[in-house]
């Protein structure tokens, strides 16, 4: 039962955050990112320590998705377990699409979320992709 509860909380978190990104709703998104926030990819680890930095990253990510015409950022929870009553570690797959077609290939992720003052927020995110770094889920282009 606890595992089902963890999975439901984790999926609700993913849905909220995905909708906030597509809507370019920085306030909602950032209310659920707790600092310092650690982001890990195949190539680097980034530590976001200030709200100003977090907002810049969010705005860059949302703009990149808009630039690709993304209209859906679906994340499907695969696993989630309570590490403590206020901490969940979960895994999920992400699907970023435009008009029903993937903008980038599906990629796997992990997020650790904690509950503070009744709000679930991420403290660590792991993207299993080699050619991107948070927040630029899309491949970097050189000009």
Q: Give the fold, CATH level 3, of 2-128.
A: Nuclear Transport Factor 2; Chain: A, (3.10.450)
CA 16 vs. chain centroid, Å, equals 10
Q: SS3 for 134? A: coil
pLDDT of the residue at 130: 60
pLDDT of the residue at 143: 32
Residue 68 reports pLDDT greater than 60: yes
Stated pTM of the model: 0.87
Residue 24 to residue 28: CA distance in whole angstroms = 9
Q: Label residue 113 exposed, middle or buried (CB < 10 Å: 0-12, 13-18, 19+).
A: buried
Residue 12, φ and ψ in degrees, nearest 5: -60, -40
Q: SS3 for 138? A: coil
Q: pLDDT digit string (tens) for 104-130?
A: 888 899 999 999 999 999 999 998 876
Residue 136 reports pLDDT greater than 50: no
Q: pLDDT digit string (tens) for 17-65?
A: 999 999 999 999 999 999 999 988 888 888 999 999 999 989 988 888 8
Average pLDDT for residues 78-99, to the nearest whole number? Answer: 96
């Amino acid at each position: 039962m606890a595992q089902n509860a963890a999975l439901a909380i984790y999926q609700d978190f993913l849905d909220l955050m995905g909708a906030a990104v597509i809507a370019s709703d920085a306030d909602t998104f950032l209310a659920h990112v707790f600092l310092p926030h650690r982001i890990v990819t195949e190539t680097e680890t980034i530590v976001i320590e200030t709200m100003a930095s977090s907002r810049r990253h969010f705005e860059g990510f949302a703009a990149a998705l808009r630039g690709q015409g993304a209209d859906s950022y679906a994340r499907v929870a695969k696993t989630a377990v309570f590490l403590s009553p206020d901490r969940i570690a979960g895994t999920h797959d992400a699907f970023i699409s435009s008009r029903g077609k993937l903008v980038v290939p599906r990629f796997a992720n992990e997020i650790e979320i904690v509950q503070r003052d009744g709000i679930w927020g991420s403290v660590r995110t792991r993207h299993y992709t080699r050619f991107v770094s948070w927040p630029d889920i899309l491949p970097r282009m050189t000009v």
